[in-house]
Amino acid sequence: MRFLPVHEIRRREAGAIALGTPAGVLMERAGNGLVRAVARLLAARSGTHVVAVAGKGNNGGDVFVAVRLLESWGVRCSLLLTCPPENLRGAARDAWESCAAVIPRDRVEVLADEASWRAVSPEECLPPRAVVIDGLLGTGTRGEPAGTVREAILWIRRAARHAAIVATDLPSGLEADTGRSTDAAVVADLTVTFDTPKLGFQYPTVWPLLGRVETVDIGLPPPPPASDDELCDFLSASDPDLRLPRRPRDSHKGHYGHVLVVGGSPGFAGAPALTALAALRAGAGLVSAVLPAGTTGPIAALAPEAMAHALPCQRGELDSQTFRQWRSSLDTFGVLVLGPGLGTGAGARSLLADLLAAPPARLLLDADALNLLAREGPLKPFADGARIIITPHPGEAARLLGTTAAAVQADRPAAVRQLADATGAVVVLKGCATLVCAPGRRPQMNLCGNPGMASGGSGDVLAGVIGALWGQGLDAWAAARLGVWLHATAGDLAAWRGGEVPLIARDQIGALGAALALLNESSTPDG
């Protein structure tokens, strides 16, 4: 999916209208997608009340549609308006009239001046676990908001201490094409954007305002070919190739891949256990783990469904000699995940060298495997990069490229392209707005996930998820992209349920089922 400039989106909207789709129908589609996202957030937070803040433009109209639908579903809604309803025009006015027919008048308040917004306390009008919908400004925003609209934005920012914030199309106060904003911009937990993400969403300065980004297809004509000002594409669950094969009723565990996790060392036995558990939760039919003797306890505790094989090792670290018994049987495993907790001694180095010299059918390199690879000097192309996925964080990427983490972060799309071109592999550059790239492909950016996922074990979970998807029949490119989306989405769902601060890796694993359900929903025509 593309990041597009406003003029292109408007051109396509005009094209849809010219072909017979009324503006009101486009607004209904947008509002329908918005309400689905809001309902999911409410359910995750066990919330029951929505407060919608609407301006006089089409974003306000989208909100009116959503409020009408939510009220019809039994969700208690309140509306705060920045202008009297009689000032509304076109499709927004029509949407208001339909909304006014279902929402009680005592839950609609017009705050048409700055003093009115300053007088309303979010603490007093927001019930626990409420969701606030921002429908103030749309893609036409230029410059700093002023007057009543500015005060309404500041009210939403204060409300964020007590409620989850959902932005309609984009956070109010953000310039869609440039990504410019001031302190008078909404900070959203979730941005529900229509048709495609806006061009400005690519820029790192925007990411703290967006929160999780979900897209809603409103039925516009296809966009033109990509232009040079697009740094990357948007990673969306609506991409048709991001689908797991449907499971027939007479299937068995052998149909869904066998993931082998190789890693673990004294003090780092939890990492492969998390990887194994994540692979199981992501649908792998079988999971095995090869670990040094004395490190299998976490596997038994966290993932007893996985088959743990303890190998006697010198100094507690796997090496090529102890692993040799597995070489002849590697083809029986669909995917080999190498690196979680592996260690970086001479033994682990020899093991990596042997596997790279004759890689198995599918090899995922993570964590210590990447640190070992960086020690080998300048990056060289893998013998068969199409069979390899690497998943570095910025520090590991910097070591692989012979630069600094700051340099990687300064231009993440360039860094992930460089890694893909240098190795021939599919590359997952982890971090805020994780990027996925492969040789000859434009990087894809994921705008799901949250700061609560920045904790130990999160990368181990991601490796297990990608490995499981790869083993279920997806190619490396699709498995990496879908794995990134599922992992980040699970993290968001877990954070909405229990907060970002206490979020740990096992919480992400626990939410994978809900993330997979959301993926299935996104595959429906109106999802």
CB 22 within 8 A of CB 214: no
Do residues 376 and 503 share a domain? yes
Mean pLDDT of all residues in 448-461: 96
In a domain, 246, yes or no: no
- CA dihedral 479→484→490→494, nearest 10 degrees, is 160
Residues pairing with 290 in the sheet = 262, 309
| CATH classification at residue 191 | 3.40.50.10260
Q: Which of 199, 230, 261 is the last residue of a domain?
A: 230
Which residues fall within 8 angstroms of residue 187, CB to CB, at 6 or more apart? Answer: 157, 160, 165, 171, 208, 209, 211
Mean pLDDT of all residues in 83-106: 96
Strands of the sheet with 76-81, listed across from one edge: 108-110, 76-81, 49-54, 131-135, 164-168, 190-194, 212-216
Separation between Cα atoms, residue 493 and residue 490, nearest integer Å: 5
In a domain, 245, yes or no: no
Separation between Cα atoms, residue 165 and residue 3, nearest integer Å: 23
In a domain, 244, yes or no: no
Separation between Cα atoms, residue 404 and residue 374, nearest integer Å: 13
CA 203 centroid distance within chain: 16
For every residue of 132-165, which 3-state class applies, written as one string? EEEECCCCCCCCCCCHHHHHHHHHHHHHCCCCEE
Q: How far is CA 45 from CA 159, 181, 374, 494, 496, in A?
A: 16, 29, 43, 10, 6
State the pLDDT confidence band at 527, using cuts at 50, 70 and 90: very low
Do residues 372 and 494 share a domain? yes
**Tens digit of each residue's pLDDT (9 = 90 or more) over 107-164:** 999 999 999 999 999 988 899 999 999 999 999 988 899 999 999 999 999 999 999 9
Q: What is the largest CA-CA distance in the chain?
A: 80
Do residues 461 and 317 share a domain? yes
Q: What's the confidence (pLDDT) of residue 228?
A: 64
Do residues 374 and 458 share a domain? yes
| CATH classification at residue 477 | 3.40.1190.20
Give 85 or 319, the one with higher predicted confidence: 85
Q: Which of 182, 199, 230 is the last residue of a domain?
A: 230
Do residues 302 and 369 share a domain? yes
Q: What's the confidence (pLDDT) of residue 525?
A: 41
In a domain, 37, yes or no: yes
Do residues 202 and 285 share a domain? no
**Residue 492 in this model has a pLDDT that exceeds 70:** yes
Do residues 508 and 412 share a domain? yes
Q: What percent of the chain has a predicted confidence (pLDDT) above 90? A: 82
| Element containing residue 166 per DSSP (H, E) | strand 164-168
Q: What's the confidence (pLDDT) of residue 526?
A: 45
Separation between Cα atoms, residue 513 and residue 519, nearest integer Å: 10
Q: Which of 230, 245, 264 is the last residue of a domain?
A: 230
Closest CA to 275 of 515, 505, 519, 512: 505
In a domain, 412, yes or no: yes
In a domain, 344, yes or no: yes
CB 306 within 8 A of CB 468: no
Mean pLDDT of all residues in 383-401: 95
Do residues 356 and 214 share a domain? no
**Tens digit of each residue's pLDDT (9 = 90 or more) over 217-263:** 999 999 888 776 678 999 998 888 888 888 889 999 989 999 999 99
**Residue 183 in this model has a pLDDT that exceeds 80:** yes
In a domain, 1, yes or no: no
Do residues 258 and 226 share a domain? no
Residue where the block lists tokens 């003797």 = 293
Average pLDDT, the chain: 93
User: Which structural domain range is residue 509 located in?
Assistant: 253-522
CB 405 within 8 A of CB 392: no
Do residues 258 and 338 share a domain? yes
Strands 426-429 and 435-437: antiparallel
Query: How many domains does the chain contain in total?
Result: 2
Q: What's the confidence (pLDDT) of residue 421?
A: 96
**Tens digit of each residue's pLDDT (9 = 90 or more) over 394-428:** 999 999 999 999 999 999 999 999 999 999 999 99
In a domain, 450, yes or no: yes
> Left if phi > 0, otherwise alpha if psi is -120 to 50, otherwise beta: which for 364?
beta
Do residues 272 and 221 share a domain? no
Do residues 218 and 257 share a domain? no
